[in-house]
Each structure stands twice: as structure tokens, then as C-alpha cells.
Amino acid sequence: MEYFHVKTIDDLTPDEVKGKRVFVRVDFNVPVKNGFVENDLRIRSSLPTIKTLLEKEGKIILVSHLGRPKGKRSEEFSLVPVYSKLKELLPEYNLYFVETIEELISRSKEIKEKEMILFENIRFYEGEEKNDLELAKKLAESADLYVNDAFGTAHRAHSSTEGVARFVKPAVAGYLIQREIEYLSKAIHNPAKPYVAIIGGAKISDKIEVIRNLLKFVDKLIIGGAMMFTFYRAQGLSTGKSLVEEDKINLARELLEESKGKILLPSDCVISDSFDPRNRTTGSLKTVNIQEIPEWGIGLDIGGKTIEIYRKEILNAKTIVWNGPMGVFEIEETAKGTFELARALAEATRQGATSIIGGGDSASAIEKIHLENEVSHVSTGGGASLEFLEGKVLPGIAILDKK
Ligand code: ADP
Ligand code: MG
């Protein structure tokens, strides 16, 4: 799909917004504790879209999910704390809170320009996650214009992310989705070369499609994380007690053959004789060449020689996509591979490369060392960014108008 052609709020004429009821699907899925929003980053991230629509004199209807209430009303998943936070962030605008669809439809006809309604958690309706079109039609009754700015749920066809857009036109992307499209498209559309992808994380089975798709575009595909051991086994090496997906060894062999030498595997790794993921502890650590992993060895990070080789590849690249940590970065002693490559990514970016990070754990790794603003783009949607990199069509974006 040609994501470049998706219409955004900047493509709307003033008349398409002024006085119109604008249904904005936002991602206010924030952490809530004791009735208060713990981290308001996601709310603040949506402000450019909301403010622009307010300035263009729209009547704004904000719809989001929070957590997984599974179709039932509960205080735990209520958006009331978000309502308080939003009032704090936009004190100069009237904001109303509405709990049912019937009320949403009637209030949408009453509010004035530059006023806002926040709707209660859309997942209190059972039909939402089933993309129930009756629910979507009802939602559409409250809207003259649809804006999707919830990238994190764009890979799911739900009533408020895809269904409603079938019945409301224009249907366009907000600034958050626009930015995600702009950067993630570079990963699968005419990337500047050399192009290097770094793939790590726990399981090869989570990343097969990403690896397959990226192999079509990249010059080098760097492997790290636990999945490297499944690749080693495919090469006949012994991997001690490291994490291996036995049923994926053949697949790893196939990928190595398909890749025609593009796949780079680590030459050394950090091992321990014990590892307790729950308490985040290891035994004493040691770096060994990959041919020399002892029977008792549990591989937890890439080694120093590998870091040097990978660093050079990254610094030589013009486009870099990173998905999945190089080791168990949650533990300081085995975070070096991940953090050093993150630093290399920042350095390459300073030299003019485009660097894109997808995946929830990779994003939290780079935030841990405060380099999130030194790379070109950190994707906000874990699952959505993975599916984008897999080359899949995201239904919440595909349904939007084209230029
Ligand atoms: P992302 O969320 O960025 O897509 P993943 O969810 O695929 O990344 O993988 C992240 C997890 O992989 C982390 O919790 C990390 O501890 C784990 N991991 C990385 N390397 C290893 C390893 N060698 N052994 C066990 N777990 C690992
Ligand atoms: Mg993850």
C-alpha cells in the first residue's frame, strides 16, 4: 500500500473543519494509578492534532480506549482521570465528558465551535474490538469528519479505528500517524543506502515476517538477542543452555540461505552459568567466542568484538532500522550490547543517517539511556510498527482518504 498518499489534516480545506463535528480517535491508553494519570506523554503527544483542529474552529469529539475492559464498564478502566488531565493541559477550552453513545450523538449536536467532548472508554462497548458495524454507524452519527491519530491501534480493525471511517468522510490522518507513516515508510520505500537493519529480542518466531520483509530492502541484516542462538544451531554450533526455539531451527537455516550473505551473526557473546529473569539476576559473566559456548553457558548479550563490528556497520549506514534489544538489557551487566548499539545509532544520526526504532522494548531501552531524541524516530506503536515493517496493511490507515 502506498502510505504516502494518505490524506492528513493539513490537506483539509478550512470549510471542511470550521463548525464541523470532528471525531478524533486518539490513543489515551495511559497508565492510571489511584484515579490519577501516572504518565501523560500519550495525551501530550496528541495535543498538536487537537489544538490544530480547535484553532480551525472544529467541534472536537475525542474517543480512545484504555486497557482491556473486555466490553464491560468498570471504574478501573474509566477515562475520568484522563478527563481531569486533559482539562489541566487545555484549560482555555470547554471540555465535556460523555458516557453513552446516545448522549454522545445528542451532545455532538449541541456543542459549539472550539469545544470538546471526551467519550468514555470505547472498549466498554463489546462491539468495539469486533469491529461491529452497527456500533460504527452509531459513532458515525456523532461526526462530520474523522481523524485517526491512534497509531498504536491502527493495526486492528475496530469500530472506532476502521469501522467508523467507512461511514464518515472525509477521513484523514492526524499528525502522530502522519509522522509514523513518514518515517516507517522510509524503511520500506526507497531508503537511502547503505541500509542496515538490526533485529534482536527474545524470539525468532515473533520476528520472522519482519526479517523476511526487510531482507528485500536491506544491504545488511544484523542479528542479536536470544534469537541468535537459534541461528547458531542452524549452523550446527552448540549453544549451551541459551534460549533456542527448537522448532524454528529449520526456518533459521532457510532464512540464512535466502539472505544470500546479508545476515550478520555475532562472533562472540556474554554467557552466565545462571539466569533468573524474574529476579533479574545472573551468575558470574564471561565473554566467549561463539564456537566455544560451554554446555552450561546461557547467552545473555553480544560480546565486545561483535559490538565493534556492528558499530562499524551502523556508522557506515545511511538508513538504519532497529527492532529488538541485543541482550537482556533489563539487567545492567548484560545491557552493554544494546546500549552501545543505541549510542552508535545516535552517532550515525548526527552524521546524517535516518534511524528508526520500532518495538516496545527497544523503545524503552533507548529511553533508559536518554537517547530517544537523538535518533530520527522512535515509533510509539509496538505491534503496529512491527506489522508495518512486516509490510502488512494497517486497516486503521488503509481506510483513510487518499490525496
Ligand atoms: P521489542 O519489544 O523491541 O520488539 P522483543 O519483545 O522482541 O523486543 O524482545 C525483548 C526482550 O528480549 C527483552 O525482554 C530482553 O530481555 C529479551 N532478550 C534479549 N536477548 C536475550 C537473551 N539472550 N536471552 C533471553 N532474553 C533475551
Ligand atoms: Mg516486546
Catalytic residue (choose from 166, 383, 391, 392): 383
Atom of ligand 1 nearest to the CA of 201: 9
> What's the pLDDT score for residue 231?
96
Distance from residue 109's CA to the centre of ligand 2 (Å) = 42
| Most informative mutation of 155, 227, 245, 329 for ligand 1 (most atoms within 8 A of CB) | 329
Q: Which of 298, 300, 302 has the alpha carbon at shortest distance from 314?
A: 302
**Nearest CA residue ID for atom 22, ligand 1:** 226
Q: Which of 210, 247, 192 has the alpha carbon at shortest distance from 324?
A: 210
Distance from residue 375's CA to the centre of ligand 1 (Å) = 20
User: Is residue 138 annotated as part of the catalytic site, yes or no?
Assistant: no
127 CB within 6 A, ligand 1: no
Q: How far apart are the first and last CA of the chain?
A: 14
> What's the pLDDT score for residue 339?
98
Rounded to an integer, what distance in angstroms lies between the CA atom of residue 302 and that of residue 280? 18
Which ligand is nearest the CA of 363, by number? Answer: 1
* Contact of 168 with 144, CB cutoff 8 Å: yes
Burial (CB count <10 Å: 0-12, 13-18, 19+), residue 118: buried
* Contact of 198 with 310, CB cutoff 8 Å: yes
325 CB within 6 A, ligand 1: yes
Catalytic residue (choose from 7, 51, 166, 203): 203
Q: How would you write the pLDDT of the chain (403 residues) with one tens digit per residue?
A: 677 799 999 999 999 999 999 999 999 999 999 999 999 989 999 999 999 999 999 999 999 999 999 999 999 999 999 999 999 999 999 999 999 999 999 999 999 999 999 999 999 999 999 999 999 999 999 999 999 999 999 999 999 999 999 999 999 999 999 999 999 988 888 899 999 999 999 888 889 889 999 999 999 999 999 999 999 999 999 999 999 999 999 999 999 999 989 999 999 999 999 999 888 899 999 999 999 999 999 999 999 999 999 999 999 999 999 999 999 999 999 999 999 999 999 999 999 999 999 888 999 999 999 999 999 999 988 889 888 888 888 999 999 999 9
**Nearest CA residue ID for atom 5, ligand 1:** 201
> What's the pLDDT score for residue 360?
85
> What's the pLDDT score for residue 206?
87
> What's the pLDDT score for residue 352?
97
> What's the pLDDT score for residue 390?
86
Classified as helix, coil or strand, 334 is: helix
Task: Specify the pTM.
Answer: 0.88
> What's the pLDDT score for residue 188?
83
Distance from residue 223's CA to the centre of ligand 1 (Å) = 12
Extract the C-alpha cell encoding 84: 481531569
Q: List, edge to edge, every strand of the sheet that includes 116-119.
A: 95-98, 116-119, 59-63, 21-25, 145-148, 171-173
Rounded to an integer, what distance in angstroms lies between the CA atom of residue 350 and that of residue 48? 26
CA atoms within a 13 Å half-sphere pointing along the CA-CB vector of 89 = 20
> What's the pLDDT score for residue 203?
86
User: Is residue 42 annotated as part of the catalytic site, yes or no?
Assistant: yes
303's CB contacts (< 8 A; 6+ apart) are: 266, 267, 268, 269, 270, 287, 288, 289, 337
